[in-house]
Amino acid sequence: MNPSSVATAAEPNMQSMTIEDTPAAAQPSEPKPFAWNKCVKVVLVLLGFLLFAMAIGSGLHSLKQWKSPSSLHSLANSRAAPQACCSPACLKVADRLSLAIDPFSQPCDYFLFTCGLSGATRGRQRGKGTTHHSNSGEGERTKKRHGKRVETDRENDTLVERLPDRETLLKESIREILEMAEGLDSPNSLEWKARQFYRSCMNTDSIEGQGSEPFLKVIKQLGGWSALGQWTQTDINSTLALLMGQYGTFPFFSVFVGKDPNQQHNNTPYIQIDQPDFQIPTEWDDQSETSKAEAVSMRPFLSSSLNFLTLLGVPRSSRAMSNGLYMALSSELAKKSSPLHHRLQTNMLYQRVTIRELQTLAPVIDWLGCLKATFHPLAISESDSVLLHNLPYIVHMSDTISKWLLKNGVMGSGTIQTYMILSLLHTLHPALDSRFRETQRNLSVALGNMEEEDPRWKHCIKTTERGFDVLLGDMVRDRTAHRETEELVGNLYSSLQSKLTDLAWRNKESRNSVLKRVKSLTPRFMAHTDKQKLAELYSEVVISEDSYFANCLQSLLLQQKRRTQLFSQSFQPDIMSITPFLSGSAIIFPSGMFLPPLFHPSYPRALNYGGLGFMMAKDLLHLLLPDLHTESGSPESVAACVWSHYISVTEGPGRVGAFSLAPSQKLEVWVQYTALQVALQAYQNSLQQHQNDASLTGLFHNHLFLTSFTQVSCDPYPYRQLMTFEPSFLVSVICANSDLCPSQMTCEKKPLVAPLDSC
């Protein structure tokens, strides 16, 4: 392991450098909006000056000119403004933070700010201060359309600069790790392999240069292809075993590993067999209970497969014929595929058979041989059980293939080979030149997929993760093992526990049972992977400097190994997760959560607790919620209280209770409000342990905490759609009856929530 790889974990803490700071309390002045830039400049000057000073032995006194960027008081902490954090990580995050809304500078309308598209609007625009919640509370909300948030009729509201979602943030961090130059001089170290894989993916010039050549080589290794005129007729069993074992391709049925839900106390993983993911678009017909090729999608589908045949060099004379036969076989196979709801109704899922029984049910496939290849080197025998999810399809598939094999030449086994080769192309086309990717892309657009294409770097991170997830998990983990993460999680969990203790419970038993469960769970970090095991997993991987295609084949072999390891469970499966999850009696906090800009050990704690702390509290509440909401009466009354605050501010007092929230919306309001309270309490506890906490962009302590919260409250997480107002409004509810806020949230136009009770 390269020792320099952990360098980022110990970024120099420049906070400890002496900056002659005039305490703000002694020199009251107005907050300066661009004071932060000054801090950046000062640090640069400071660095330059240090070098200079070393040379000429001069002092640092010229820095005395620098003034504290802030004079804001915290009511709760009316001490002097703490020192500004000027660590590299702080400097980086300050830009983002300066775009966040400060709830205390515009208390009259800050909560009408809208969570905007990330990057869509920079800076702050003044809102008109109009009220805009609708009767249903949902109709006017931003809508999820084609997987992308679309702003509806709120274009005149102020948009909050939104952080990218957490998955993107994790990918950005991994990108940073992979793009670091370090380790380049130790080729074939494990980290070098991951970096080189990523780099070969980014090297589009080289990918374009190779064209379809690498794929044609693979076809040769598979015995050729009748459509290209060279074919040493191989039997379908051996080709299929190769595709499943070495190329991660499952043309006729899909194979995966999982537990049997019908055996609750048995954690044994089973091989499971399902219908495949068909390339041909089909629609389900309820009457005949079959799937039919979708008429409107046929043209784009046919033209894309024709395009693929052209790109692979199939001669014009036989192209149309091969394509037509391919389509005929595809639609015939797909006939017996059926949607999940139908299979649930007819009890098709998790049907247990032995491999021997499967062989008699669907004789054309050499099941034992294929499964042995898929899970090499595991010992698999005919008496082992597998779980089927669509037996009628499997039987039909076997019959169809037998029937086609009886036809002569290209008509029969040739078409079966075409079908397998185009399935393989589907697995490998992302590794080929842009003509292949564009063809696939055009088809997916024609079929109605409106999602934007990932930028190249993100696509490459995703493909790198596929083979190197364990290693990347470990690299991320190396950079996040801090005392500070443990403190954050510890404070948060104990604050959550005491919050749950104080809830209004429906009865004593339910209170005790929930608290017992919460106590029985231990918060834990994702464990480090055993270095020996890591080395074993990656030692045989040969990464090429210039061939992305060759590297993708290596990645498929890695994925085969990982599939096999699902039986021995030697690696944590959710290694790239971004939210806490339950595993036995532990709550696991994955390393990928603790990365900038959401977390850094050098950040002021207020930033970490108000941002990531709030998000984690939200995650934990949702994780424990199935137990909580039925047991406690709290969510309803708290949500009603918060909602009446909102109504009274936006509509005036007379309208309280005019609209009501659906139960799921109430629950979400409660979750978010409670999460904010829990995180704030955890921060207060941490302040009691260590009073020092740095400032950033002139903000500190609770003020910085609440600003950090406002920024992450726009996080597009799964339950976000249930929130009937912008979560930043919760700041005014918290401040209504608390001395924790830096200033009273008053405004000339109307009183903000003052007359109401605290929630």
Ligand X SMILES: *[C@@H]1O[C@H](CO)[C@@H](O)[C@H](O)[C@H]1NC(C)=O
Q: Does 748 bind ligand X (CB under 6 A)?
A: no
Which is closer to ligand X, CB of 366 or CB of 636? Answer: 366
Instruction: Rule CB under 6 A: choose which of 272, 307, 551, 702 binds ligand X.
Output: 307
603-622 mask for ligand X (x: CB under 6 A)? --------------------
Which is closer to ligand X, CB of 413 or CB of 710? Answer: 413
Q: How many CB atoms are located within 10 Å of the residue 187 CB?
A: 11
Q: Does 757 bind ligand X (CB under 6 A)?
A: no
Q: How far is CA 17 from CA 14, 46, 563, 602, 698, in A?
A: 5, 10, 50, 13, 18
Which is closer to ligand X, CB of 363 or CB of 448? Answer: 363
Span interacting with ligand X, options 266-274, 361-369, 603-611, 690-698, rule CB under 6 A: 361-369
Q: How far apart are alpha carbons 193 and 555 in whole angstroms?
A: 11
Q: How far is the CB of 128 from ligand X (least distance, A)?
A: 7
Q: Using an 8 Å Cβ cutoff, are 741 and 702 in contact?
A: yes
Q: Does 236 bind ligand X (CB under 6 A)?
A: yes
Q: Find the farthest-apart pair of alpha carbons in the chain and give their distance in angstroms, rounded.
A: 95
Token pair 């919760």 is found at 730
DSSP 484-531: HHHHHHHHHHHHHHHHHHHS-BS-HHHHHHHHHHHHH-EEEEPPPPPH
Angle CA 89–90–95, to nearest 5: 105
Span interacting with ligand X, options 31-39, 91-99, 363-371, 670-678, rule CB under 6 A: 363-371
Which is closer to ligand X, CB of 235 or CB of 454? Answer: 235
Q: Does 435 bind ligand X (CB under 6 A)?
A: yes
Instruction: Rule CB under 6 A: choose which of 20, 208, 235, 486 binds ligand X.
Output: 235
Q: How far is the CB of 304 from ligand X (least distance, A)?
A: 7
Classify residue 410 by burial, with Cβ atoms within 10 Å: 0-12, 13-18, 19+.
middle
Please give the residue whose beta carbon sits closest to ligand X in the complex: 366
703-732 mask for ligand X (x: CB under 6 A)? ------------------------------
Which is closer to ligand X, CB of 164 or CB of 300? Answer: 300
Residues 395-424 that bind ligand X (CB under 6 A): 405
CB-side neighbour CA atoms (13 Å) of 525: 23
Q: Does 366 bind ligand X (CB under 6 A)?
A: yes
Q: How far is the CB of 363 from ligand X (least distance, A)?
A: 5
Q: How far is the CB of 649 from ligand X (least distance, A)?
A: 20
Q: Does 139 bind ligand X (CB under 6 A)?
A: no
Instruction: Rule CB under 6 A: choose which of 315, 363, 448, 657 binds ligand X.
Output: 363
Q: Does 758 bind ligand X (CB under 6 A)?
A: no
Interstrand relation of 230-231 and 224-225 (parallel, antiparallel or unpaired): antiparallel
CB-side neighbour CA atoms (13 Å) of 40: 14
Q: How far is the CB of 691 from ligand X (least distance, A)?
A: 47
Span interacting with ligand X, options 1-9, 359-367, 537-545, 722-730, rule CB under 6 A: 359-367
Which is closer to ligand X, CB of 416 or CB of 741? Answer: 416
Instruction: Rule CB under 6 A: choose which of 226, 330, 439, 485 binds ligand X.
Output: 439
Which is closer to ligand X, CB of 442 or CB of 497? Answer: 442
Q: How far apart are alpha carbons 710 and 747 in whole angstroms?
A: 19
Q: How far apart are alpha carbons 652 and 394 in whole angstroms?
A: 64
Closest listed residue to residue 736, CA positions, set 653, 656, 657, 646: 646
Q: How many CB atoms are located within 10 Å of the residue 420 CB?
A: 21
Chain CA centroid to CA 720, Å: 15
Which positions ≥6 away from 254 have C-beta within 8 Å?
Answer: 273, 274, 275, 276, 277
Closest listed residue to residue 187, CA positions, set 473, 476, 558, 541: 541
| Both structure tokens of 561 | 């190994």
Q: Using an 8 Å Cβ cutoff, are 278 and 410 in contact?
A: no
Instruction: Rule CB under 6 A: choose which of 176, 283, 438, 540 binds ligand X.
Output: 438
Instruction: Rule CB under 6 A: choose which of 13, 203, 237, 559 binds ligand X.
Output: 237
Instruction: Rule CB under 6 A: choose which of 134, 156, 262, 585 binds ligand X.
Output: 156
Query: Residue numbers of the site for ligand X (CB under 6 A)?
Result: 153, 156, 235-237, 307, 363-364, 366, 405, 435, 438-439, 442
